[in-house]
Amino acid sequence: MTLRRKNNWILADAEETSSVDYNSDTLFRPVKVIGDNRIALCNLGNKKYCQKLEEGTSCCLSATASTTASEARMEFKELVVSRHISRVHFRLKEAKIYGKTPIILTEEEYENTTSKSATKHINIPLEHTLRGSWGSIASYKSSNVKTSIRSGIPVMGEAGLTLDISGEVSWKQYLY
């Protein structure tokens, strides 16, 4: 079932159309409302925003608002109890490091003057130091979504990682 506009009322009775033959009365564009966590739906048939409309005993969605007034704004909430994120892959070969100058370990030239393939070996002494740290700051927000993240941390010189994890702590103390 597809939504359509008829006399600016939004009805859920439109016929399915092919991908080439779109009816602009069945197309809606979401518009983010600035400074708000909401959107407004603009009907492409009449370029008006959808809002609640009551006529007599009927209450419906209607494409009649000229602006994204408060009646035309919709808030979408993600109803999630918990979320688990795992198997995070870091594409280190595509990483870019800003604000650092590359260190040139050695420069050598080799010219193969024969008609056969040749290999040149270069020995570079390497000292590898790995230092790590982990910090945690707990902040409590009004979200009730439990989130767990399982991930490795890539090694790329100096790095930082910031996670925003919210939770709730309940503390009870009884005296006997």
78 closest CA partner among 163, 164, 144, 140: 144
pLDDT bin (cut points 50, 70, 90) of residue 17 is low
If one compares 144 and 33, the residue with the highest pLDDT of the two is 33
pLDDT per residue over 58-91, tens digit each? 778 888 888 887 777 877 777 777 777 777 777 7
pLDDT tens profile 147-170: 666 666 555 555 455 555 555 555
State residue 93 phi and psi, 5-degree precision.
-70, -20
pLDDT for 116: 86
Q: What is the pTM (predicted TM-score) of this model?
A: 0.39
Residue pair 46/5 in contact (Cβ under 8 Å)? The answer is: yes
Residue with tokens 């919210």: 166
HSE on the CB side for 37, CA within 13 Å?
4
> What's phi and psi for 44, nearest 5 deg?
-75, -10
Report the percentage of the chain scoring pLDDT > 90: 0
Would you mind telling me the total number of residues written for the chain in this entry? 176
Domains of the chain: 2-74 (2.80.10.50)
Q: Which residue has the higher pLDDT, 23 or 14?
A: 23
